[in-house]
Amino acid sequence: MKRKALYKIIQAKAMNDMPDILSKINLDSIEIIPETVIQKRAHWNLTHVLSYSVSFAALIIIAVLGINVIIGSSQPNQTPLESDIELIGFQAVSAASLLEGMDITDLSYNVTPLAFTNDEISIIESELPAIDQYLNMLEIALGDSNAISYEAIISDRGGYAFCIQFQSTDLTQNTYDFKFYYNQAETPNQTNITGVMAYDDREFVTTGIMYKNSGAVKSSFRAEVDQDTYVFVEDRSTSSVQAFAYRIVKHGIITNESVLNIESVKHQFRVKIHMSAQGKHLSLQVQKSAGNDAFTIDYEISNDVLESSGQIDVALEYDMMMHKYVYRYNVRNNQNTETTQYQGNRQWWKTTTTTTTENTTTAGNATSGNGGTAGTTTQDGTTTDGETTTEHTTPGNCPRCNGIIQDIIQNSL
Amino acid sequence: MTVDFDKYIDKLKEKDNEAFAFVYENTKNGVFSIIVSIVKSRAETEDLMQDTYIKMLKNINSYTIGRNFNAWLMQIAKNIAIDHYRKHNRLTVYDPQEDMYIFDKRQAPQKSDLDIDEVIKNLSPEEKEIVLLRIVANEKFKDIAKVVNKPLGTVLWIYNKAVKKLQKDLEKEEKS
C-alpha cells in the first residue's frame, strides 16, 4: 500500500472519531485563574536595611556576571552543528559541493594573476587553485552567512526512505535547494547510509557510515563521480570542537587533503582550513561577509624557505569573456603593503540559456541575483543582429563532465 | 502554515468566542492526536478534549507570550490524558516517553471503539503519538520532537518504522 493511501485512511478515520466539542464549552462558565500578584509590605527597620544592602550587593554581582556572559557570548561557539541531521547534512553537502567544484577534465582552476607578484605573494598564489575549490564549497555550505538550516523532510523520491533538505544562497543570492535522499541499514556495529545528493539538475552518489567510537557517534561520507574520482569527508569532531577531514581524489590520485574546523561567532559561521603537504603548511580562516556577497580570508603559509601571512578579500566580478561571475582575489600580505589581484574560477550558476552577440556584453547587463544568467538573454534565445550562439549551461560549466556524470547516474540507477 | 496564536491570547483572556473558535479549529487535530494515542474510547476522548480546552482557558494567564502556544496546549492535553489513565488503570503508570515499559507490561486489554484504532492498534503508544501528530495534526517533525521530547532523528526513525508497519498490516488485511 502506498503511503498516500495510508495517510488518507488514517485521516478519514481520525475525522470520523474526532468529537466536536466547540459547542459544548461555555466560555462564560469558566473561571480564569487571575495572574498571581505578589504584594510586598514595606517595613523600615534595620533588618530590612541590611537585607536591601545585601540584595543591592547581589544585584551588582549579578550585573558583573551578566556582563561577563555578554562578553562570553562573543567567544566562538566551536560546536555550531547541533543535531545528527546537521552533521550528516553538512558532510554530504560539503562533499558534493567540493565534487561539483572539481573539474574532472583538467580544464579549469586557472587562477590568473592580474599584476606583478613578489616571492612572498607567489607562495600563496600557488595555493589559490586549492583555495578556489574550497571557496566554491563554502559559498554553498556556509548558507546565508548566519544560518545553516538542514531539515529532515519526508522523502518524495521512490526507493529512498529518508530525505534531508538544505537550502542555501550563493554570493549572487541565487537559491540552491539540496536534497540528500538516502536509505540506512543497521548492522550491530554501524549504520550504513546509501543515497544521492540532488540539486538543480545534478546528482552525486553519496554513501556514508555512522558508528560509535568511545561513546560518541562518528561518521564519514563519500560523494563520487566514479570509483576513482570522489570526495571523502570524515567527522573528527570532539565534544569541544567540530572538525572534518576532507580528501579529494581525482582519477585515483589524492589531489588535496585538509582538515576543516567550523565555528560560529555572534551567530555567524566561519571555518578554519588547514592543509599540509610536501613541507608546505597553509592555514585559512574564512568567513562570508554580512551581506553574503563576499569572503574575507586570513591566511598563514609557510614552506621550508618562506613564511607569509595576510588577508584575502574575495568578491565577485563579472567576466565578459566567459559570461559569468568569477572570484576576484585581493591579496594583501603583512610583510608587504602591495595588493595583488587574481581572478579565480567560480562554479556556481543556475541552469540557464545565455545568448551572446558579436557586441561584447557589458557587466551592466548582468543583474545581481541570477549568478550565471548575466549577459543579454532573450526568451527564445535569438537576437536581431550579430552572430548568435546559444549555450546551455549547467553548474560546473563543463558539458563533458556533465555528460560523464549523467552516464554514471544512469548506470547507478 | 504556522499560526500565530499569540495574537489571540488577550481575546481568550476576555473569553471571546471567535478567538476561542479560531484556536480550537487550529489545534483540535493535535489535541485529538495526543489523547487518542493514550485512551481508547470515544466518550473518554471527548471528555478529555473538553477538559484540555477548559484547563487551557483557566490557566491562560500562566501562558507567556512568545512561547509555543501549540506545544503548551498539547502538553496540557498529554498531562490530562496521563492523569486520566492513572486514575482508571491503577496498575498502569504510563507516559509514552517515560514509562512505556510498565505500560506495555501491565496494561489490561481494553477494546477500543475508535475507528482509528482499527488501523493503528498494533503500534506502540509512542508510535501512535508520532504518527497521528504527523498525519492527522500535520505537525512538523521538529515540533513533534519537542512534544515527545526526543531528538529529531529518533522521531523520524520511529515514524518511518511505524508507517512501514502500518503498510504491512493493511496489506495483510487486504490479502486476507
CA A383 to chain centre: 38
- Give contacts of B 110-139 with A, CB under 8 A: 114-116, 118-120, 131-132, 135-136
Has residue A17 got a pLDDT over 60?
Answer: yes
Q: Does residue A16 sit at the B interface (CB-CB below 8 Å)?
A: yes
- CA B69, B75, B81, B84 dihedral sign is negative
Say whether B59 and A33 touch across the interface (CB within 8 A).
yes
* Average pLDDT over every residue of A323-342: 81
Q: What is the DSSP string of A300-353?
A: EEE-SS-EEEEEEEEEEEEETTTTEEEEEEEEEETTEEEEEEEEE-------EE
* Average pLDDT over every residue of A360-370: 35
Give me the residue from A11, A24, A35 closest to B61, CB to CB. Answer: A35
Contacts of A151 in chain B (CB under 8 A): 142
- Alpha carbon distances (Å) from B151 to A83, A214, A396, B145, B148: 8, 21, 37, 6, 9
* Average pLDDT over every residue of B62-79: 87
Give me the residue from A14, A30, A35 closest to B116, CB to CB. Answer: A14
What does the pLDDT read at residue B16? 93
- Which of A39-43, A185-189, A217-221 shows the lowest mean pLDDT across its residues? A39-43
Q: What ipTM was estimated for this complex?
A: 0.85
Has residue A247 got a pLDDT over 80?
Answer: yes
Q: Does residue B62 sit at the A interface (CB-CB below 8 Å)?
A: yes
Q: Does residue B91 sit at the A interface (CB-CB below 8 Å)?
A: no
* Average pLDDT over every residue of A314-331: 83
What does the pLDDT read at residue A19? 93
- Which of A42-46, A85-89, A172-176, B89-93 shows the lowest mean pLDDT across its residues? B89-93
A407's enclosing H/E stretch is helix A399-412
CB neighbours of A221 closer than 8 A, spacing ≥ 6?
Answer: A88, A91, A92, A95, A193, A206, A207, A208, A232, A233
- Which of A32-46, A143-157, B68-82 shows the lowest mean pLDDT across its residues? A32-46
What does the pLDDT read at residue A269? 82
Has residue A49 got a pLDDT over 80?
Answer: no
Has residue A407 got a pLDDT over 80?
Answer: no
Closest CA to A182 of A197, A170, A194, A172: A194
For residues A104 and A48, what is the distance between their CA atoms, to the nearest angstrom?
79
Has residue A339 got a pLDDT over 90?
Answer: no
Has residue B32 got a pLDDT over 70?
Answer: yes
Say whether B57 and A161 touch across the interface (CB within 8 A).
no
What does the pLDDT read at residue B71? 87
Q: Provide the shortest C-alpha distance from residue A177 to chain B (in Å).
A: 19
* Average pLDDT over every residue of A75-96: 81
Say whether A17 and B42 touch across the interface (CB within 8 A).
yes
CB neighbours of A122 closer than 8 A, spacing ≥ 6?
Answer: none
* Average pLDDT over every residue of A375-394: 34
pLDDT tier at A355, thresholds 50, 70, 90:
very low
Of residues A342 and A296, more confidently modeled: A296
pLDDT tier at A411, thresholds 50, 70, 90:
very low
Say whether B54 and A17 touch across the interface (CB within 8 A).
no
Contacts of A10 in chain B (CB under 8 A): 116, 119-120, 131-132, 135-136, 166
Where do the domains of chain B lie, and which CATH numbers do they carry?
Answer: 5-175 (1.10.1740.10)
DSSP state of B121: T
For residues A283 and A309, what is the distance between their CA atoms, to the nearest angstrom?
9
H-state helical runs in B37-99? 42-58, 69-88
Say whether A152 and B141 touch across the interface (CB within 8 A).
yes
For residues B106 and B81, what is the distance between their CA atoms, to the nearest angstrom?
17
Has residue B98 got a pLDDT over 80?
Answer: no
* Average pLDDT over every residue of A336-346: 78
Say whether A1 and B114 touch across the interface (CB within 8 A).
no
Say whether A18 and B29 touch across the interface (CB within 8 A).
yes
What does the pLDDT read at residue B11? 92
pLDDT tier at A284, thresholds 50, 70, 90:
very high
Q: Does residue A11 sit at the B interface (CB-CB below 8 Å)?
A: yes
Contacts of B116 in chain A (CB under 8 A): 10, 13-14, 16-17
Has residue A356 got a pLDDT over 90?
Answer: no
For residues A125 and A128, what is the distance between their CA atoms, to the nearest angstrom?
5
Q: Provide the shortest C-alpha distance from residue B2 to chain A (in Å).
A: 16
Task: Give the HSE-up count for residue B11: Cα atoms under 13 Å, Cβ half-sphere.
Answer: 12
Say whether A27 and B21 touch across the interface (CB within 8 A).
no
What does the pLDDT read at residue A73? 57
For residues A42 and A218, what is the distance between their CA atoms, to the nearest angstrom?
60
Has residue A155 got a pLDDT over 50?
Answer: yes
What does the pLDDT read at residue B50? 94
For residues B45 and B49, what is the distance between their CA atoms, to the nearest angstrom?
6
Contacts of A87 in chain B (CB under 8 A): none
SS3 content of chain B, % helix, strand, coil (to 5): 70, 0, 30
Q: Provide the shortest C-alpha distance from residue A21 to chain B (in Å).
A: 6
Say whether A21 and B49 touch across the interface (CB within 8 A).
yes
Give me the residue from B17, B136, B166 closest to A14, CB to CB. Answer: B136
Q: Provide the shortest C-alpha distance from residue B157 to chain A (in Å).
A: 9
Instruction: List the single best residue of B10, B28, B135 to mutate versus A (max A Cβ within 10 A).
Output: B135
Q: Does residue A3 sit at the B interface (CB-CB below 8 Å)?
A: yes
- Which of A51-60, A98-107, A173-182, B71-80 shows the lowest mean pLDDT across its residues? A98-107
What's the mean pLDDT when you consider all of chain A? 74
* Average pLDDT over every residue of B23-29: 94
What does the pLDDT read at residue A168? 83
Neighbours of B80 (CB within 10 A): 23
Contacts of A84 in chain B (CB under 8 A): 151-153
Cβ(A267)–Cβ(A138) under 8 Å?
Answer: no
Q: Provide the shortest C-alpha distance from residue A13 to chain B (in Å).
A: 5
Residues of chain A above pLDDT 90, percent: 15
Has residue A60 got a pLDDT over 70?
Answer: yes
What does the pLDDT read at residue A246? 94
* Average pLDDT over every residue of A251-279: 85
What does the pLDDT read at residue A232? 94
What does the pLDDT read at residue A362? 33
Cβ(A293)–Cβ(A170) under 8 Å?
Answer: no
- Which of A40-54, A218-232, A245-259, B115-129 shows the lowest mean pLDDT across its residues? A40-54
Give me the residue from A10, A27, A35 closest to B17, CB to CB. Answer: A27
pLDDT tier at A325, thresholds 50, 70, 90:
confident
Contacts of A27 in chain B (CB under 8 A): 15, 17, 20, 57
Q: Which three cell numbers stand for residue A105?
A: 577534465
Q: Does residue B4 sit at the A interface (CB-CB below 8 Å)?
A: no
Residues of chain B above pLDDT 90, percent: 40
What's the mean pLDDT when you consider all of chain B? 83
Contacts of B166 in chain A (CB under 8 A): 6, 10
What is the dihedral angle through the alpha carbons of A94, A96, A98, A103, rounded to the nearest 10 degrees? -170
Q: Does residue B45 sit at the A interface (CB-CB below 8 Å)?
A: yes
For residues B81 and B128, what is the distance between their CA atoms, to the nearest angstrom?
14
What does the pLDDT read at residue B99? 42
Cβ(A190)–Cβ(A181) under 8 Å?
Answer: no
Of residues A131 and A291, more confidently modeled: A131
CB neighbours of A47 closer than 8 A, spacing ≥ 6?
Answer: none
pLDDT tier at A387, thresholds 50, 70, 90:
very low
Of residues A384 and A259, more confidently modeled: A259
What does the pLDDT read at residue B131? 94
Residue at A146: amino acid letter: N
Has residue A395 got a pLDDT over 70?
Answer: no
What's the burial of B28, exposed, middle or buried (CB within 10 Å: 0-12/13-18/19+)? buried
Closest CA to A310 of A126, A119, A120: A120
Cβ(B96)–Cβ(B149) under 8 Å?
Answer: no
**Core vs surface per residue B60-77: b (16+ CB within 10 A) or e:** beebeeeeebbeebbebb
What does the pLDDT read at residue A98? 86
Q: Does residue A70 sit at the B interface (CB-CB below 8 Å)?
A: no
Has residue A353 got a pLDDT over 70?
Answer: no
Q: Provide the shortest C-alpha distance from residue B17 to chain A (in Å).
A: 7
What does the pLDDT read at residue A268? 76
